[in-house]
């Protein structure tokens, strides 16, 4: 089991969702985050106060998957998130010790595998 | 005080002018709520830009072309740069021409702002400024002359109390042309593009309704009977549109929607705009109820087409304005308006005059706007690049964001500004 964390542009988030859906990755969560990854900073001016925006809005996907789905999830996030310009984001894959489905008490692989309702 | 000026009329028209001016920021708020958060400021700024640009063009030539003389197609240049616009009463009214000028200017402003609804989220701000300046003269001033200023429609007998021709049909059908020339947003038809703040939408619609009492109530240029009738009809008609819209929402989706309600307010106000001073309160209520149907149908149908007329200016303004203009031809009542009866009261000719306006205004507005935008597009790009569209027009066009948190913002001291990173609009 792995936790795949993908940090992408907010405007690409819907593309990532589509790609994950096509890859049959069904369970994930997403959140809005702010980050900095070396992209060209934006300069904004508010009534004469000029600021350099060091943080950019990003969307963070977290997908817990069984080992056979890791590559699918990673390539789906890559495919959906890529524009080719600096600032497209990063993907991190980290090991996952334990998972529990709250409703049933299923653990580990059983907890991260979708069930048909 | 000049001879022939009525202080009561003048006092009301001063207030009505301010009410109508407020409608444009209200429209900006309404539109801003309907777009995605990354385009909030740009959308709002298009309305503010209309105040800036259309006021200047109106003072320069627009007012004169609309209201100087009784030429069939266009007015003269006798009032260009506000020559002769002073304290003397405007012909046919008892208010100073200066007040008349300002009141009419606010109409030109909001009409220009209305069209922006068709092109938000992708049109370049600079191109919109150029379009606004030219459109306010080539389309608004001409149609205002036809319907208000002594042109062929009003002299032929067409009744248009507060702007079904130059404001509502002109903006609606110009919006359709603008949407076709500028083209759809890149995600249109593939992704759900949702309103980001329904509270702005409701508040904007509410403030528009408030301002509309000046818009319709002021269009008699007096405190006389037509003005009073139009004022009260501006309450009755949109309320009935709301009720019917609720019913349509319930039938269609089993829920009454907030954004639907905001839309209904606009549709009802638009429908009563041409008819306000000409139909009885009872007919105004029927007008409001019936006007909901075609606009609702077009909104439902339009989202299934390829046309990204983004904020439904055609459905809300073009269609309801068209409906209101024709409605006068059926239900105008001389014993309420003192001017003319409609078909229902034995004067079929009035319907003919109304139909003529309902045909001429959409064609003129659509064709001229289409050609005008094609010509502007030949000189400068009309829309932002796909990349800029993805980032959002607020940052790209204005270098500001509507919902900035300040986290991670580093203050640049005056000495550093030139050395800072490249602004985002020019990342090359």
CATH number at residue A52: 3.30.70.120
In eight-state DSSP terms, residue B422 is P
Rounded Cα–Cα distance for residues B69 and B65 (Å) = 9
Cβ distance of B395 and A14 shorter than 8 Å: no
Residue-wise pLDDT for A78-103, tens only, equals 999 998 888 899 999 999 999 999 99
Q: List pLDDT tens digits, range B84-106.
A: 999 999 999 999 999 999 999 99
Q: What is the pTM of this model?
A: 0.92
Percent of chain B with pLDDT over 90: 90
> Which residue from A9, A53, A83 is facing B408, i.e. has the nearest CB?
A53
Cα angle value B214/B171/B31 (rounded, 5°) = 75
**Per CATH, the architecture of B7-379 is what?**
Orthogonal Bundle (1.10)
Across the beta sheet with A49-53, the strand order is A42-46, A49-53, B409-411
Domain count, chain A: 1
d(CA B57, CA B108): 10
pLDDT tens-digit series, residues B161-218: 999 999 999 999 999 999 999 999 998 988 889 999 999 999 999 999 999 999 999 9
**Which of A45, A55, A85 lies nearest to residue B408, judging by beta carbons?**
A55
Q: Give the model's pLDDT for residue B191.
A: 83
**CA distances from residue A96 to A20, A67, B4, B167 in whole angstroms, order as listed:** 20, 10, 87, 62
Taking the domains of chain B in order of start, what are their residue ranges?
Answer: 7-379
In a domain, A93, yes or no: yes
Asked if B410 lies within 8 A of A45 by C-beta distance, the reply is: no
B427: confidence class by pLDDT, cuts 50, 70, 90: very low
Among the partner-chain residues A11, A12, A43, the one whose CB lies closest to the CB of B420 is A43
Q: Work out the pLDDT band at A117, boundaries 50, 70, 90.
A: low
Secondary structure of residue A58 in the 3-state scheme: strand
A23 belongs to a structural domain: yes
The pLDDT score that the predictor gives to residue B404 is 84
What are the DSSP E strand ranges found in chain A? 2-8, 29-35, 42-46, 49-53, 56-65, 89-95
Residue A117 lies in a domain: no
Q: Answer yes or no: are the C-beta atoms of B109 and B103 closer than 8 Å.
A: no
Contact flag A42-B399 (C-beta cutoff 8 Å): yes
Question: What are the chain B neighbours of A84 within 8 Å (beta carbons)?
Answer: none
The yes/no answer to whether this complex scores an ipTM above 0.85 is no
Q: Using the beta-carbon criterion (under 8 Å), do B408 and A54 form an inter-chain contact?
A: yes
B412–A51 CB contact, under 8 Å: yes
Q: How far apart are CA B85 and CA B248, in angstroms?
A: 48
pLDDT over threshold 80, residue B408: no
A21 touching B (Cβ < 8 Å): no
Range of the domain at A43: 2-112
């Amino acid at each position: 089991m792995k936790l795949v964390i993908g940090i992408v542009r907010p405007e690409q988030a819907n593309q990532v969702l589509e790609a994950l859906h096509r890859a049959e990755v069904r369970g994930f969560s997403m959140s809005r985050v702010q980050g900095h990854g070396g992209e060209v900073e934006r300069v904004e001016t508010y009534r004469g106060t000029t600021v350099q925006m060091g943080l950019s809005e990003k969307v963070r996907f977290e997908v817990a998957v069984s080992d056979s789905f890791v590559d699918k999830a990673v390539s789906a996030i890559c495919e959906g998130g890529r524009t080719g310009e600096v600032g497209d984001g990063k993907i991190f894959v980290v090991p996952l010790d334990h998972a529990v489905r709250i409703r049933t008490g299923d653990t580990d692989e059983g907890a991260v595998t979708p069930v048909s309702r | 005080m000049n001879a022939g000026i009525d202080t009561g009329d003048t006092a009301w028209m001063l207030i009505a002018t301010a009410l109508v001016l407020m409608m444009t920021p209200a429209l900006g708020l309404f539109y801003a709520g309907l777009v995605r958060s990354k385009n909030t400021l740009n959308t709002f700024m298009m309305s503010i830009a209309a105040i800036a640009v259309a006021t200047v063009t109106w003072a320069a030539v627009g007012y004169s072309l609309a209201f100087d003389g009784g030429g069939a197609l266009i007015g003269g240049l006798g009032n260009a740069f506000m020559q002769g616009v002073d304290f003397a009463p405007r012909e046919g009214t008892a208010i100073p021409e200066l007040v008349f000028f300002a009141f009419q200017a606010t109409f030109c402003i909001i009409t220009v702002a209305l069209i922006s609804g068709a092109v938000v989220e992708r049109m370049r701000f600079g191109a919109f400024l150029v379009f606004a300046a030219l459109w306010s003269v080539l389309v608004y001033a001409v149609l205002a002359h036809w319907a208000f200023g002594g042109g062929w429609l009003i002299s032929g007998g067409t009744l248009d109390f507060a702007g079904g021709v130059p404001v509502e049909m002109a903006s609606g059908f110009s919006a359709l042309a603008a949407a076709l020339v500028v083209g759809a947003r890149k995600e249109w038809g593939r992704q759900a593009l949702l309103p980001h703040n329904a509270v702005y939408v409701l508040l904007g619609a509410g403030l528009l309704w408030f301002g509309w009492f000046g818009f319709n109530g002021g269009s008699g240029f007096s405190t006389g009977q037509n003005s009073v009738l139009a004022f009260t009809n501006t309450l009755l008609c949109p309320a009935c549109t709301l009720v019917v819209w609720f019913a349509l929402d319930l039938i269609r989706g089993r829920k009454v929607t907030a954004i639907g309600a905001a839309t209904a307010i606009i549709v009802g106000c638009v429908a009563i705009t041409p008819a306000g001073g000409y139909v009885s309160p009872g007919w105004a209520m029927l007008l409001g109820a019936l006007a909901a149907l075609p606009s609702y149908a077009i909104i439902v149908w339009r989202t299934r087409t390829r046309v990204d007329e983004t904020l439904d200016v055609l459905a809300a303004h073009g269609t309801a304005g068209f409906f209101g203009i024709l409605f006068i031809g059926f239900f105008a009542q001389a014993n309420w308006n003192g001017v003319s009866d409609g078909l229902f009261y034995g004067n079929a000719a009035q319907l003919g005059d109304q139909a003529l306006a309902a045909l001429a205004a959409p064609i003129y507005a659509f064709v001229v706007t289409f050609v005008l935008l094609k010509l502007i597009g030949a000189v400068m790009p009309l829309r932002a690049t796909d990349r800029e569209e993805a980032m959002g027009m607020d940052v790209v066009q204005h270098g500001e964001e509507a919902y900035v948190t300040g986290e991670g913002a580093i203050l640049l001291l005056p000495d550093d500004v030139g050395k800072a990173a490249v602004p985002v609009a020019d990342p090359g």
